[in-house]
Amino acid sequence: MPIIRLLLTLALHRQWTLHQLDVSNAFLHRDLPDDIYMRQPPGFIDSSNPTAVCKLHKSLYGLKKAPRQWFQKLTSFLQSQGFTFSRSDPSLLLLHNGQTQLYILIYVDDFLVTGNNTTAIDRLLHQLQNQFALKRLGHISLFLGIQVTQSSTGYFLSQEHYATKLLNDAGFKDCKPAPTPITNKTRPPTALSPPFSDPSLYRRLAGSLQYLSITRPDIAYATNRVCQHMQSPTEQDFKDLKRLLRYINGTISFGLPITIGKLELHSYSDADWASDTNDRKSISGYCTFIGSNLLSWTVKKQVTVAKSSTEAEYRSLSAAASDVLWLRRLACELQLPQPNPTVIHCDNTSAIAIAKNPVFHARTKHIEIDYHFIRQQISSGEINLAHIPSKDQVADILTKPFSISRFHDLRHKLTIRSKE
């Protein structure tokens, strides 16, 4: 998903057209390298020889090899046309030939194609149509369930149709909207709440919310919370999920804008130390922007228990630095170089001091790997750490619940808004 958002940003700034393609029966295109047999399908059984089996000449849906064989056939053809794999993600293929720049992003049988040479794009699409059952869907409008609306100011990404269907399926179409996705009141212990009567309903709704968070980072923290209890949900867990659905009902048209601005990466990192009352693990959260456009974000419970708030913040910084390095490499491949170190904003002065001052090393042996990793990236000029006041820390919205006014302020800083 970050690649899709970065590709949209690139096309918007360069005024390129994004073409959307779809391949019919994608898994049936590939020849099989091995001998594979199947039972005679129901309705086509030879009555004179019912125990005979069929030898496959082509790949078939349901075959374990089918996805890999399809991807191999498609990418082999693209490589024969001069494309190369991105070092950042094999689903992105690049063509740099003189002044020509072409990019194709593959998600199973859905493609996005853009570049600076319309003649070369038309030639490529014509060649693809000769090889595969390709449908040209025109300019990008609905990709992987994400509605992409183009306006004079840029693109707007939303999942309003998906959210509407989710609310209808859950029976919350006419519910009373909630001002925030999660209450900031103290949550009662899970052990005191009885088990929820329909765990499969809870899991289905929680999984749907995960997909909705692709364009709604404002619900990422609340969704992470409800998804931690999918194994054995309680009545209190379902109440939390219902509040999240009520918030979505009141913000159903909200989404993520992609606008023209600076093309410099910057990131925010935060952690909520020992916030889980059950196991005392901390929550990490970080988000990365290119200019004013939000590219990626993460909410994740840390794997181990942190001994201090500094350690929790430092581990979050390490995860944010890894994300920044990947995005810097990806941006460079898309001809969006980042000559200056990428600034990661952190509101914990102790974590910044540890990263910059090796004197602290003796007191932080238990986070030595993260320490060396961040120090190395600072020394190489890839990243730079900067202190930011807690009131301006955008990543706060990814690690903890807030009051209504504070949540709305952070949501605005995260650029989430309704469609104009």
Note the pLDDT of residue 277: 75
Asked if 267 and 414 sit in the same domain, the reply is yes
Containing domain of residue 351, as a range? 262-418
Q: Let me know whether 37 and 117 are in one domain.
A: yes
- Going by C-alpha positions, the residue among 347, 333, 352, 324 that lies closest to residue 264 is 324
Is the same domain home to 370 and 341? yes
Q: Could you tell me if 398 and 294 lie in one domain?
A: yes
Q: Is 54 among the domain residues? A: yes
Q: Could you read off the pLDDT of 243-287 as tens digits, one per residue? A: 999 999 999 999 999 999 899 999 999 999 988 777 889 999 999
Q: Would 26 be classed as within a structural domain? A: yes
Please report whether residue 375 resides in a domain: yes
Q: So what's the pLDDT on residue 361?
A: 55
Structure tokens at 92: 């992105």
Category of 292 on φ-ψ map: left (φ > 0), alpha (ψ -120 to 50) or beta? alpha
Residue 290 shares a structural domain with residue 339? yes
Q: DSSP assignment, residue 296?
A: E
Q: What number of other Cβ atoms are within 10 A of residue 202's Cβ?
A: 21
Number of domains in the chain: 3
**Structure confidence at residue 33 (pLDDT):** 76
- Pair 220, 163 in one domain: yes
Give the 3-state secondary structure of residue 392. helix
**pLDDT confidence of residue 43:** 87
Question: pLDDT value at position 367?
Answer: 64
| Domain edge (last residue) among 139, 173, 193 | 139
Q: Give domain status of residue 255, yes or no.
A: no
What is the reported pLDDT for 181? 94
For residues 101 and 116, the answer to whether their CB atoms sit within 8 Å is: yes
* DSSP letters for 200-264: HHHHHHHHHHHHHTTS-GGGHHHHHHHHTTSSS-BHHHHHHHHHHHHHHHHTTTEEEEEE-----
Res 130: pLDDT: 86
Q: What is the pTM of this model?
A: 0.87
Domain boundary among 250, 277, 303: 250
Q: Residue 359: which residues within 8 A CB-CB, separation 6 or more? A: none
Domain of 372, CATH number, reads 3.30.420.10
Q: Are 92 and 327 in contact (CB under 8 A)?
A: no
Looking at residue 247, its pLDDT comes to 95
DSSP 101-144: EEEEEEETTEEEEEES-HHHHHHHHHHHHHHS-EEEEEE-SEET
In a domain, 256, yes or no: no
CA trace torsion 231, 237, 238, 242 (10° rounding): -130
227 located within any domain: yes
267 and 408 inside one domain = yes
Identify whether 215 is part of a domain: yes
383 and 295 in a common domain: yes
Shared-domain flag, residues 135 and 169: no
Residues of the chain with pLDDT under 70: 29-30, 186-191, 358-371
Residues 273 and 389 in one domain: yes
Please check whether residue 5 lies inside any domain of the structure: no
Instruction: Identify whether residues 266 and 386 lie together within a single domain.
Output: yes
Q: Are residues 130 and 175 in the same domain?
A: no
> Which residue among 139, 167, 192 closes a domain?
139
